[in-house]
Amino acid sequence: MKRVNEPQQVSAYRSILVSMMSYKDGTTYENGYEFSDEQLGEIMPEDVYKWMTNKVYGRPDPGHDDNPTLGRSSSLEYYKKALSYFIPYRLASWNPMTNSGNPTRSQPIIDLIKAVKKKEVRKQGKATSAVRPLEAEEFASTLNLLRKYHDILRRFQMLTLKLHMKSYILFSRTSTTIIQLSGD
């Protein structure tokens, strides 16, 4: 069933659902498999929790000393969003007394994401792969430096030197920021 305002990522969401359901049921489902509301209604927070911990820790039952080296909290948040899209009662919070509602909105899932974020802040989780674009001030400085030289070979030498200097400065910091040069 196609919804009004269906997100463009619905195929990516479906692959996440198929992955989780395959893990939960111990069966390999095709990527286009349509799960019934009954199948989706049987998903429990424990199923989602074990699948998520397996994705980021590599095991379904991590201990306090284990570190999430395979994934980040942002991945878990995306998985949560993707799975919620298919849950029949996705707007309802999880009710542990009646075992109803959206299992991705249960306390164990919320606590898992918080724990992974805490590990990331302490540099005990998977390193970020985010990149940052060159800032306008840095770009203007580079252009001004290059405009001083009329010889094309000299310009490329200076550009290469500038890039190496930026790389050294950025990689020597404790942050994992990387310059992204698009179009160069």
pLDDT tens digits, the chain, 184 residues: what are they?
566 777 788 999 999 999 999 999 999 999 889 999 999 999 999 999 999 999 999 999 999 999 999 999 999 999 999 999 999 988 899 999 999 999 999 999 999 999 999 999 999 989 887 777 767 787 777 777 777 777 777 777 777 776 766 665 555 443 444 444 434 4
Burial 84-101 (b: 16+ CB within 10 A, else e): bbbbebeeeebeeeeeeb
Distance CA 152, CA 181 (A): 20
Pair 113, 73: CB distance under 8 Å = yes
Q: Which helix (H) or strand (E) holds 84?
A: helix 73-86
Domain ranges for the chain: 10-121, 132-180
**Radius of gyration over every alpha carbon of the chain, rounded to an integer in angstroms:** 23
Which DSSP state fits 104? G
Distance CA 149, CA 134 (A): 22
pTM above 0.75, yes or no: no
